[in-house]
Structure 1
Amino acid sequence: MSNRRDFIKNAALGTLGFSTILSCENLVKEEELAPYHAIKTPKKPLIISTWNHGLPANEETWKQLKNGKSAIDAMEAGMRIPEADPKVRSVGYGGYPDREGKVTLDACIMDHNSNCGSVSYLQGIKHPISVAKKVMQNTPHVMLSGQGALQFTLSEGFKEENLLTAEAETDWKKWMEESKYKPVINMENHDTISMLVIDENGNISGSCTTSGAAWKMHGRVGDSPIIGAGLFLDNEVGAAAATGLGEAVIRTAGSAMVVELMRQGKSPLEACKEIVERIFTKHKNHKDMEYLQVGFIAINKNGEHAGYSLRSGFNYAVADAEYGNRMEDAKFKIAE
Structure 2
Amino acid sequence: MVNRRKFIRTASLGSLAGLLAKDVLAAEASVSNGPVVISTWDAGLAANRGAWEVLGNGGTALDAVEKGVMVTESSINCCVGLGGNPDRDGFVTLDACIMDHQFNCGSVAFLERIKHPVSVARRVMEKTPHVMLVGSGAQQFAVAEGFPLESGALSPDAQKAYTEWLKKAEYKPVINVENKAHGPFAPAIMPTGEFNHDTIGMVALDAKGNLSGSCTTSGMGFKMRGRLGDSPIIGAGLYVDNEVGACTATGQGEDVIRVAGSSAVVEMMRQGLTPEQACKKIIERIVRIKKEKVKDIQVAFIALDKKGRAGSYAIHPGFSYAIRTTKGERLINAPSHFKKTS
Tell me the TM-score normalized by structure 2. Answer: 0.86
Matched, 1:181 2:174: no
Identity of matched residues, %: 50
- Shift in CA distance, 137/99, structure 1 to aligned 2, threshold 3 Å: same
Please say if residues 22 and 329 of structure 1, whose CA atoms lie closer than 8 Å, have aligned partners that are also in contact.
no
Please say if residues 24 and 330 of structure 2, whose CA atoms lie closer than 8 Å, have aligned partners that are also in contact.
no
Aligned pairs for 1:170-209 (under 5 A) are 170-187=160-177, 188-209=195-216
Please name the residue that 1:6 is paired with. none
Matched, 1:142 2:131: yes
Unaligned 5+ runs, structure 2? 1-7, 9-14, 178-194
Aligned pairs for 1:1-336 (under 5 A) are 18=16, 20-24=19-23, 36-38=28-30, 42-86=32-76, 88-162=77-151, 164-187=154-177, 188-286=195-293, 289-322=294-327, 324-336=328-340
Task: Give the secondary-structure state (helix, strand or coil) at the position aligned to 1:96.
Answer: coil
Measured in 1, the distance between the counterparts of 2:199 and 2:255 equals 14
Measured in 2, the distance between the counterparts of 1:321 and 1:159 equals 36
Q: How far did residue 257 of structure 1 move?
A: 0.5
Measured in 2, the distance between the counterparts of 1:165 and 1:108 equals 24
Measured in 2, the distance between the counterparts of 1:66 and 1:240 equals 21
Q: How far did residue 74 of structure 1 move?
A: 2.2
Measured in 2, the distance between the counterparts of 1:38 and 1:25 equals 13
What does the per-residue CA deviation read over 1:243-294, in whole Å, with 9 as the maximum and x for residues that have no partner? 00000000110100000000000011110001001001101155xx342100
Please say if residues 249 and 300 of structure 2, whose CA atoms lie closer than 8 Å, have aligned partners that are also in contact.
yes
Measured in 2, the distance between the counterparts of 1:305 and 1:245 equals 22
Measured in 1, the distance between the counterparts of 2:258 and 2:172 equals 19
Q: How far did residue 78 of structure 1 move?
A: 1.4
Measured in 2, the distance between the counterparts of 1:44 and 1:263 equals 22
Q: How far did residue 38 of structure 1 move?
A: 4.7
Please say if residues 182 and 291 of structure 1, whose CA atoms lie closer than 8 Å, have aligned partners that are also in contact.
no
Match of 1:176, as an amino acid? Answer: L
List 4+ stretches of structure 1 deviating above 4 A: none
**How large is the Cα RMSD of the aligned pairs?**
2.0
Q: How far did residue 71 of structure 1 move?
A: 2.1
Match of 1:117, as an amino acid? Answer: G
Please say if residues 316 and 339 of structure 2, whose CA atoms lie closer than 8 Å, have aligned partners that are also in contact.
yes
Q: What is the total number of aligned residue pairs between the two structures?
A: 308
Match of 1:69, as an amino acid? Answer: G
Q: How far did residue 69 of structure 1 move?
A: 3.3
Q: How far did residue 73 of structure 1 move?
A: 1.9
Please say if residues 60 and 74 of structure 1, whose CA atoms lie closer than 8 Å, have aligned partners that are also in contact.
yes
- Shift in CA distance, 73/265, structure 1 to aligned 2, threshold 3 Å: same
Unaligned 5+ runs, structure 1? 1-9, 11-16, 27-31
Q: How far did residue 334 of structure 1 move?
A: 1.3
Match of 1:311, as an amino acid? Answer: H
Measured in 2, the distance between the counterparts of 1:201 and 1:257 equals 25
Measured in 1, the distance between the counterparts of 2:318 and 2:252 equals 14
Task: Give the secondary-structure state (helix, strand or coil) at the position aligned to 2:307.
Answer: coil
Q: How far did residue 18 of structure 1 move?
A: 3.5
What does the per-residue CA deviation read over 1:173-194, in whole Å, with 9 as the maximum and x for residues that have no partner? 1011001111111124222100
Match of 1:201, as an amino acid? Answer: K
Q: How far did residue 307 of structure 1 move?
A: 1.2
Tell me the TM-score normalized by structure 1. Answer: 0.87
Task: Give the secondary-structure state (helix, strand or coil) at the position aligned to 1:284.
Answer: helix
Q: How far did residue 89 of structure 1 move?
A: 1.2
